[in-house]
Amino acid sequence: MRMILAAGLCALLVVDVAFAQSTATSSEADVLPSQCAVISPAPTIPDGRRATAAQMHAADALYRAWASDTEAKLRCRASEVDAANHQLQASISAYQAQAANARAVSEAYNSAIAAFNARGAQAHEDTAHH
């Protein structure tokens, strides 16, 4: 029973740590809306140094139910985070492509201006004589 409890707790901690790292600097106002259910409050954990076998068995049942429910809700949220990350990466790629295009146009324009100025011409002279 101890190994099962320890394994379950470790699995939840790994998911929780990975998720916390991605949201550690976010305030609640910055968090994207979620379709996932909210994690239920954790069950009360008895003091293992003083608890009876019946109390530990009852705590085990409550913990297992809570852990299973929590794991499902965390998987739901992780799926949403992955989808949002995919959308973010696509937006970043689109932005970078647009920025590169804007830079190329600006560089071409600046080259044309430099070439125009290098021959001693001035744009206002061409329009003044027509």
Dump pLDDT digits (tens) for 30-84.
889 999 999 999 999 999 999 999 999 999 999 999 999 999 999 999 999 999 9
Phi-psi region of 126 (alpha: psi -120 to 50; beta: other; left: phi over 0): alpha
A 10 A CB-CB count for 48 gives 9
- Structure tokens, 65: 């139910």
- Please, which pLDDT band fits residue 27 given cuts at 50, 70 and 90? confident
The string of pLDDT tens digits covering residues 96-116 is: 999 999 999 999 999 999 999
Return contacts of 42-45, CB within 8 angstroms, 24+ apart: 42/66
Backbone angles phi, psi at 75, to 5 degrees: -60, -40
125: part of which helix (H) or strand (E)? helix 123-128
Burial 50-72 (b: 16+ CB within 10 A, else e): eeeeeebeebeeebeebbeebee
130: part of which helix (H) or strand (E)? none
- What pLDDT is recorded for position 120? 84
Alpha helices of 24-121 — where are they, by DSSP H?
Answer: 53-118
